[in-house]
Amino acid sequence: MRIVIAGGHGQIALRLERLLSAGGHEAVGLIRRADQADALRAAGAEPVVLDLESASVDEVAEALRGADAAVFAAGAGPGSSVERKDTVDRAAAVLFADAAERAGVRRHVVVSSMGADSRHQGDEVFDAYLRAKGGADESVRSRAALDWTILRPGMLTDDAGTGLIRLEAHTGRGPIPRDDVAAVIAELVETPATAGLTLELVSGSVPVSVAVKAVAGE
């Protein structure tokens, strides 16, 4: 499969690119800066410089053309402003979904956040982040032209992945290593029967492939 990843230089995306490349897939990562390209190549991915905060729908659709799946893993990141939570975590996700529709790429996986809700109250930056993620999720879920799956991980850690998770519509809060998030995304991309599901993810006791098959009804 050819899989295009928005936010290709992110911590989860780089892990995902390594997994996809090792699995024989063609990973393409969209990045904001050319100096990020070597990290993607080292992960086995093809870098494409394309800033989702300034690109047009047509430009993003061109990058997606011919892909078998699209993964939105971009984020404004810690320390960013309320404004960038909206332009990246919401608007860029909507743009990426628009472009996927235009390019005819149906399989669409979104890395969201536990607690994402467009009506979330609060004045802190993290509150704005949850509203932005919630708004993006609502936009993606409204699209009949996409076979979408929305993944909402718990608290991300850099601990080594265990490959053991809990993946359900509602898991309750908990931590999850980025390694395991990437492994779940890789499995979801190849499991189209998870389309139409919004899933929460924390560490647990079930192997990744078994957990994904379970939510897919397989």
The predicted-structure confidence for 51-64, as pLDDT tens digits, reads as follows: 999 999 999 999 99
pLDDT of residue 211: 98
Write the pLDDT tens digit of every residue in 75-92.
877 777 778 788 888 999
Torsion of CA 139, 5, 1, 107, to 10 degrees: 0
pLDDT digits (tens, 9 = 90+) for 160-172: 999 999 999 999 9
Closest CA to 2 of 17, 38, 14, 84: 17
Q: Of 136, 165, 143, 139, which Cα lies nearest the Cα of 74?
A: 136
89-144 pLDDT, tens digit per residue, is 899 999 999 999 999 999 999 999 999 888 888 888 889 889 999 999 999 999 99
Which tokens hold the place of 92?
């860029």
Buried b (16+ CB within 10 A) or exposed e, 163-174: eebbbbeebeee
Q: From CA 22, how far away is CA 25, in angstroms rounded?
A: 7
